[in-house]
Amino acid sequence: MSGNQRMFWLIWGMGLVPVLLAVLAWSSGIGVPAQGVNQGELVTPVRTLQAWGGEPEKYTGHWSLLLVHEDRCLGQCLTRLEQLKRVHDALGRESNRVRVDAVLTDALAPGVWVVDPLGNLVMKYPPGWESRALLGDMRRLLKASRLG
């Protein structure tokens, strides 16, 4: 094998090895985290507006953070609602794409639900949710989405 042929195959190998390693990692799952980077629980399958009983004029055209509580909004509920409004404000220039609402309903479990601009429930946070986790997920969603 001459020097030119050796160099040719060396260059091909340098380009082919990363591709083969990527295919191996993808097919075997090695190095791929079991859970995504989101902090909230993804709703699968997505629940449509009609399925959860939302009002189209209230929950379409923008993202919504929906605080669902068990009884009248007193004490801890008001504190959680204030935290949710702070998350909204922390979104900065993207905050005009998001609305905050609190509802009392039996159709949804208590906690914070993220509603996309089409009215679908896409994420859920348990009643003891953390503001930073929600803020990070919302920033990621708004950055990836052109809707709302």
Please report the pLDDT score of residue 22 as a whole number.
Answer: 87
Residues 52 and 98 occupy one common structural domain: yes
Residues 55 and 128 occupy one common structural domain: yes
Please tell me the pTM assigned to this model.
Answer: 0.75
Residues 114 and 74 occupy one common structural domain: yes
CATH of the domain at 67: 3.40.30.10
Residues 84 and 14 occupy one common structural domain: no
- Model confidence pLDDT, tens digit, residues 16-33: 999 998 888 888 877 766
Residues 21 and 83 occupy one common structural domain: no
In the predicted model, is pLDDT for residue 71 greater than 80?
Answer: no
With residue 103 as reference, give the H or E element that holds it. Answer: strand 98-104
Please report the pLDDT score of residue 63 as a whole number.
Answer: 94
Please report the pLDDT score of residue 78 as a whole number.
Answer: 85
Residues 64 and 13 occupy one common structural domain: no
Which DSSP string do the residues of 5-63 spell out, in sequence order?
Answer: HHHHHHHHHHHHHHHHHHHHHHHH-TT--SS-S-SSEEEEEEEPHHHHT--HHHHSSSE
Residues 71 and 15 occupy one common structural domain: no
CB contact at 8 A, 123 and 38: yes
What value does the mean pLDDT take over residues 98-121? 90
Please report the pLDDT score of residue 87 as a whole number.
Answer: 93
How sure is the predictor about 46, in pLDDT bands with cuts at 50, 70 and 90? confident
